[in-house]
């Protein structure tokens, strides 16, 4: 962003001002995540940078909160993590299957009432979570699924499918349908065509939709707060209770782990996006 | 041979037109069958329960079922003077059934909501009934009126009559700090009890300002990201995407650490001499905390649509504007800015819709003066268990969101939603 030599002074000043604003916003966005890292290694119980930490004294850092996270008897983080992963994996599977199949139908040009059906399918994304929470709770309570894993998985499928539907329909919009016709003319049945031809081509879209669904489920707290019993506690619920009652450094250790996880998810999502862009480029 | 008039036949001898229509219908059914599982699932588990929220929010059948005979005989009563002997008699017989079922307490509670004072007089009547003091061969009206002087007051009978319809709008009125008074007129509650209106206004205010802040901060960086060379912008994009993928609770937690009184932000303010050490400002558990945390959390939702629109604007347009004699500011304002309006619309309405239903962050960093209407809904769902009131407020919020969404669709189009 180098400025040409002939730039007038006032535009030069404006340009530096603009760069300064952008720098400030980027710091505002990313810095909060980095505060957590050093504090989670704090040797003391307080959530402030101690004098020792400021002087980079090695004794001021420790892994005690990570140990507490794993071995601590009072903290049900182990159970919460297990539940969170089980629920998120099943919710993702459900969302991906239901969402991909629906997206296939939606992107067919024969689909009747496309607008209204699409609006219904993505409505869980638009309706505020608190309302979804109330509605889903009423259903689960009536169906006797409140405070069960099944109930939470179903709830997260509801919340996760819109992402799959949107990403897969977007991928399918650049999809060349003549390849499926070619497969059919070569004698392949529809299921086989889907598995061997369509799916490999739209896989990046399916996986990135799945990642969205996974993160939605893994991070979801509003609906789970209505549904979960003691046995179904998840990481977000534990964090929520922890943050409400008292901020302990153990929460920061958990938060650090979650940031590492989200970094991994970000990297895979980015790789997938680039791959799918490349694939779409070939189709053009 | 006139080929125009002759029908074209397929090989099996069916006219081509019919055969095509058949194939078309088959394709339609096929497409619909693919969507059907998800659609059915959502309708049963999601759309239908939202409808149930509506019936729950207006439902007032409980009392209608408790006093069936009373309401039947009240139909002919004009409601001006005390009702006839018949009404009293049917009320007593309804009441006796309730006493047998031990449901008279529920009745008293419900009637007391309609008009204060029912609790006492229902209890008195209950005692008389329990001791079999009421002689059915004599005038029941006279005997009930003797139980308590309020039974002689026509206002209490009017209150009973008002509860007759199986549906009520009371919950919706309550959510707007209003109620139906004795004359069936909508009245406002006294000034010091108007809590819900404050919450609605605050919710809209917070959502509006968060949207404005997100726009003011998101526009420059989206512009920078769209104009920088790919290798730099990809790196900076991480700053937007990493928060986007990070757990909401993690980000809220980090703001709680940053904003607390001994926190990093306050340390920094003290260091640069903005505030004195013993006079650190309270930045959490109030609106400031809500604004700061929500802006940072929702900022990626503003930047991503803006970026995807700005990416498509060719840089030569700005150059053309400048070469035609516009200053950089004029070229920006007349050429670049109008082209970004679809992105602005998408970003602003996305952020606004998300902000208006926010729950977790205000509950954690908002304190008492930073809570929003969603917190109130959750409170009634979990603490007071007044589910019909929570449903009513939820549906009002949903109505607002749908209006905004409809506007969004009109102005920008739903298809413009982009995810990363």
Encode pLDDT of B182-207 as tens digits: 677 787 888 777 888 888 999 999 99
Q: How confident is the model at residue A282 (pLDDT cuts 50, 70, 90)?
A: low
Count of structural domains, chain B: 3
- Domain membership of residue B181 (yes or no) is no
Question: Strand pairing of B186-188 and B178-180?
Answer: antiparallel
Q: Which of A18, A167, A259 sits opposite B220 (nearest CB)?
A: A18
Ranked by mean pLDDT, which of A11-20, A84-93, B243-252 comes out on top?
A: A84-93
pLDDT of residue B176: 85
User: Under DSSP, is residue B178 helix (H, G, I), strand (E, B) or coil?
Assistant: strand
> Which residues, 6+ apart, have CB-to-CB distance to B194 below 8 Å?
B177, B188
Helices (H) and strands (E) in chain A, counts: 13, 0
Total CB pairs under 8 A between chain A and B: 257
In Å, what is the CA distance from A227 to each residue of B57, B107, B334? 20, 31, 52
Q: What element of type H or E holds B180?
A: strand B178-180
Residue given tokens 């090695």 in the structure block: A58
Determine how many CB atoms are found less than 10 A away from the CB of residue A25. Answer: 23
Residue B260 shares a structural domain with residue B347: yes
Ranked by mean pLDDT, which of A30-34, A70-74, B117-121, B213-217 comes out on top?
A: B213-217
pLDDT of residue A283: 47
pLDDT of residue A279: 67
Q: How confident is the model at residue A218 (pLDDT cuts 50, 70, 90)?
A: very high
- Domain membership of residue B175 (yes or no) is no
**pLDDT of B22 above 60:** yes
Q: How confident is the model at residue A17 (pLDDT cuts 50, 70, 90)?
A: very high
User: Under DSSP, is residue A177 helix (H, G, I), strand (E, B) or coil?
Assistant: coil
Of the candidate ranges A173-182, B30-39, B213-222, the one whose mean pLDDT is the lowest: A173-182
Residue B117 shares a structural domain with residue B243: no
If we measure between CA atoms, which residue out of A272, A12, A2 comes closest to residue B228?
Answer: A2
Residue B47 shares a structural domain with residue B95: no
Phi, psi of B178 (to 5 degrees): -130, 165
Do A72 and A63 touch, CB atoms closer than 8 A? no
**pLDDT of B222 above 50:** yes
Phi, psi of B362 (to 5 degrees): -60, -35
Integer Cα distance of B346 and B408 in angstroms: 7
pTM beyond 0.80: yes
Chain B CB contacts of A111 below 8 Å: 28, 31-32, 35
Average confidence (pLDDT) over B357-372: 84
Last residue of a domain, one of B40, B59, B78: B59
Residue of higher predicted confidence among A51 and A83: A83
pLDDT of residue B173: 84
Of the residues B22, B220, B249, B420, the best mutation for testing chain A's interface (the one with the most A CB atoms within 10 Å of its CB) is B249
B43 DSSP assignment = I
**pLDDT of B370 above 80:** no
Beta-carbon separation of A121 and B419 below 8 A: no
pLDDT of residue B1: 46
Phi-psi region of B273 (alpha: psi -120 to 50; beta: other; left: phi over 0): left
Residue B54 shares a structural domain with residue B65: no
pLDDT of residue A45: 75
Beta-carbon separation of A111 and B417 below 8 A: no
Looking up residue B322, the CATH number of its domain turns out to be 1.10.3720.10
Q: How confident is the model at residue B111 (pLDDT cuts 50, 70, 90)?
A: confident
- Domain membership of residue B83 (yes or no) is yes
Residue B383 shares a structural domain with residue B277: yes
Phi-psi region of A33 (alpha: psi -120 to 50; beta: other; left: phi over 0): alpha
Whole-number percent of chain B with pLDDT over 70: 96
If we measure between CA atoms, which residue out of A241, A86, A103, A88 comes closest to residue A165?
Answer: A103
Residue B44 shares a structural domain with residue B89: no
Of the candidate ranges A154-163, A196-205, B10-19, the one whose mean pLDDT is the lowest: B10-19
Last residue of a domain, one of B16, B35, B59: B59
pLDDT of residue A284: 39
Residue B119 touches chain A, beta carbons under 8 Å:
no
DSSP sequence for A238-255: HHHHHHHH---HHHHHHH
In terms of CA atoms, which chain A residue is nearest residue B36?
A102
pLDDT of residue B419: 46
pLDDT of residue B11: 78
Do A106 and A118 touch, CB atoms closer than 8 A? yes
Q: How high does pLDDT run on average in chain B?
A: 85
Q: Which of B42, B56, B257 sits opposite A47 (nearest CB)?
A: B257
pLDDT of residue B74: 84
pLDDT of residue B414: 57
Shortest alpha-carbon distance between residue B7 and chain A (Å): 25
Integer Cα distance of B228 and B236 in angstroms: 10
Residue B339 shares a structural domain with residue B393: yes
Residue B45 shares a structural domain with residue B75: no
Ranked by mean pLDDT, which of B190-204, B205-219, B308-322, B363-377 comes out on top?
A: B205-219
Residue B158 shares a structural domain with residue B44: no
Q: Which of B221, B249, B419 sits opposite A236 (nearest CB)?
A: B249
Average confidence (pLDDT) over B166-181: 82
Chain B CB contacts of A2 below 8 Å: none
Q: How confident is the model at residue A280 (pLDDT cuts 50, 70, 90)?
A: low
Phi, psi of B270 (to 5 degrees): -65, -40
Q: Give the model confidence (pLDDT) of B406-420 as tens digits.
A: 887 777 665 555 444
Residue given tokens 């602005």 in the structure block: B344
If we measure between CA atoms, which residue out of A247, A202, A237 comes closest to residue A100?
Answer: A202
Last residue of a domain, one of B147, B166, B185: B166
Do A83 and A234 touch, CB atoms closer than 8 A? yes
Whole-number percent of chain A with pLDDT over 70: 95
If we measure between CA atoms, which residue out of A14, A25, A12, A20 comes closest to residue B221?
Answer: A25
Interface list for B 120-149 with A (CB within 8 A): none
Q: Quick one: how far is CA A251 from the chain centroid?
A: 20
**pLDDT of B239 above 70:** yes
Of the residues A29, A35, A101, A163, the best mutation for testing chain B's interface (the one with the most B CB atoms within 10 Å of its CB) is A29
Residue B247 shares a structural domain with residue B114: no
- Domain membership of residue B186 (yes or no) is no
- Domain membership of residue B187 (yes or no) is no
Chain B CB contacts of A54 below 8 Å: none
Residue B109 shares a structural domain with residue B200: no
Residue B27 touches chain A, beta carbons under 8 Å:
yes
Domains along chain A with CATH numbers: 79-283 (1.10.3720.10)
Please calculate the CA angle B303-A131-B191 and round it to the nearest 5 degrees.
100
Whole-number percent of chain B with pLDDT over 90: 19
Shortest alpha-carbon distance between residue B324 and chain A (Å): 17
Interface list for B 48-77 with A (CB within 8 A): 48-50, 52-53, 56
Residue B291 shares a structural domain with residue B149: no
Q: Give the model confidence (pLDDT) of B377-410 as tens digits.
A: 998 988 888 888 999 999 999 999 988 888 877 7
Q: How many CA atoms lie within 13 A of B185 on its CB side?
A: 4
Average confidence (pLDDT) over B241-249: 89
Integer Cα distance of A74 and B73 in angstroms: 63
Which structural domain, as residue segments, surrounds residue B127?
61-166
Beta-carbon separation of B31 and A136 below 8 A: no
Q: At what angle do helices B104-114 and B85-100 cross, to 10 degrees?
A: 130
Please calculate the CA angle B20-B24-B28 and round it to the nearest 5 degrees.
170
**pLDDT of A51 above 80:** no
Phi-psi region of A56 (alpha: psi -120 to 50; beta: other; left: phi over 0): left
- Domain membership of residue B171 (yes or no) is no
């Amino acid at each position: 962003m180098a400025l040409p030599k002939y730039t007038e002074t006032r535009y030069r000043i404006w340009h530096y001002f603009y760069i300064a604003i952008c720098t400030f916003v980027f710091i505002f966005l990313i810095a909060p995540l980095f505060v957590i890292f050093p504090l989670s290694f704090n040797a003391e119980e307080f959530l402030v940078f101690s004098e020792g930490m400021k002087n980079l004294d090695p004794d001021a850092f420790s892994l005690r909160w990570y140990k507490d996270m794993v071995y601590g008897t009072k903290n049900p983080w182990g159970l919460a993590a297990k539940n969170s992963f089980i629920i998120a994996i099943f919710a993702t599977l459900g969302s991906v299957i239901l969402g991909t199949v629906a997206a296939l139908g939606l992107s067919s040009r024969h689909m009747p009432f496309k607008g209204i059906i699409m609006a219904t399918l993505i409505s869980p994304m638009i309706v505020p979570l608190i309302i979804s929470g109330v509605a889903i709770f009423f259903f689960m309570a009536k169906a006797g699924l409140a405070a069960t894993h099944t109930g939470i998985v179903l709830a997260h499928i509801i919340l996760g499918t819109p992402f799959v539907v949107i990403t897969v329909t977007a991928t399918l919009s650049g999809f060349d349908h003549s390849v499926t016709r070619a497969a059919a003319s070569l004698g392949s049945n529809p299921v086989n065509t889907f598995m061997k031809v369509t799916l490999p081509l739209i896989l990046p879209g399916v996986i990135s939709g799945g990642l969205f669904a996974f993160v939605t489920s893994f991070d979801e707290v509003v609906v789970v707060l209505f549904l979960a019993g003691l046995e179904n506690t998840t990481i977000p619920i534990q964090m929520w209770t922890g943050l409400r009652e008292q901020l302990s450094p153990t929460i920061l250790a958990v938060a650090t782990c979650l940031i590492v996880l989200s970094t991994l998810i970000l990297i895979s999502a980015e790789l997938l996006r680039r791959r799918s862009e490349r694939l779409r480029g070939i189709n053009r | 041979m006139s080929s125009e008039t002759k029908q074209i036949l397929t090989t099996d001898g069916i006219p081509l037109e019919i055969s095509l229509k058949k194939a078309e219908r088959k394709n339609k059914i096929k497409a619909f069958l693919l969507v059907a599982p998800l659609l059915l699932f959502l309708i049963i588990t999601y759309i239908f329960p939202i409808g149930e929220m509506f019936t729950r929010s207006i439902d007032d059948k409980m009392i209608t079922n408790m006093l069936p005979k009373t309401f039947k005989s009240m139909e002919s009563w004009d409601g001006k003077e005390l009702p006839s002997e018949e009404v009293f008699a049917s009320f007593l017989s309804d009441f006796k059934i309730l006493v047998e079922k031990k449901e008279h307490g529920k009745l008293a509670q419900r009637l007391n909501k309609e008009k204060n004072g029912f609790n006492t007089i229902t209890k008195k009547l209950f005692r008389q009934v329990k001791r079999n003091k009421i002689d059915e061969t004599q005038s029941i009206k006279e005997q009930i009126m003797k139980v308590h002087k309020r039974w002689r007051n026509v206002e209490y009978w009017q209150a009973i009559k008002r509860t007759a319809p199986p549906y009520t709008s009371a919950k919706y009125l309550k959510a707007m700090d209003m109620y139906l008074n004795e004359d069936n007129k909508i009245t406002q509650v006294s000034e010091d009890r108007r809590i819900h209106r404050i919450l609605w206004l605050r919710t809209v205010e917070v959502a509006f300002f968060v949207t404005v802040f997100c726009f003011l901060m998101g526009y420059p960086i989206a512009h920078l990201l769209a104009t920088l060379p790919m290798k730099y912008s990809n790196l900076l994009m991480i700053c937007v995407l990493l928060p986007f993928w990070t757990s909401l609770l993690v980000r809220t937690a980090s703001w709680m650490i940053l904003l607390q009184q001994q926190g990093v932000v306050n340390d920094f303010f003290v260091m640069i001499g903005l505030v004195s050490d013993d006079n650190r400002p309270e930045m959490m558990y109030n609106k400031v905390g809500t604004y700061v945390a929500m802006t940072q959390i929702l900022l990626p939702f503003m930047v991503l649509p803006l970026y995807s629109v700005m990416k498509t604007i060719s840089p030569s347009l700005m150059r053309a504007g400048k070469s035609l004699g516009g200053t950089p500011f004029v070229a920006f304002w007349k050429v670049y800015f109008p082209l970004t309006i679809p992105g602005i619309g998408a970003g602003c309405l996305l952020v606004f819709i998300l902000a208006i239903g926010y729950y977790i962050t205000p509950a954690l960093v908002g304190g008492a003066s930073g809570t929003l209407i969603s917190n109130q809904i959750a409170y009634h769902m979990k603490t007071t268990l007044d589910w019909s009131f929570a449903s009513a407020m939820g549906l009002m919020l949903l109505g607002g969101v749908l209006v905004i969404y409809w506007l969004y669709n009109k102005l920008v189009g739903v298809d413009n939603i982009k995810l990363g």
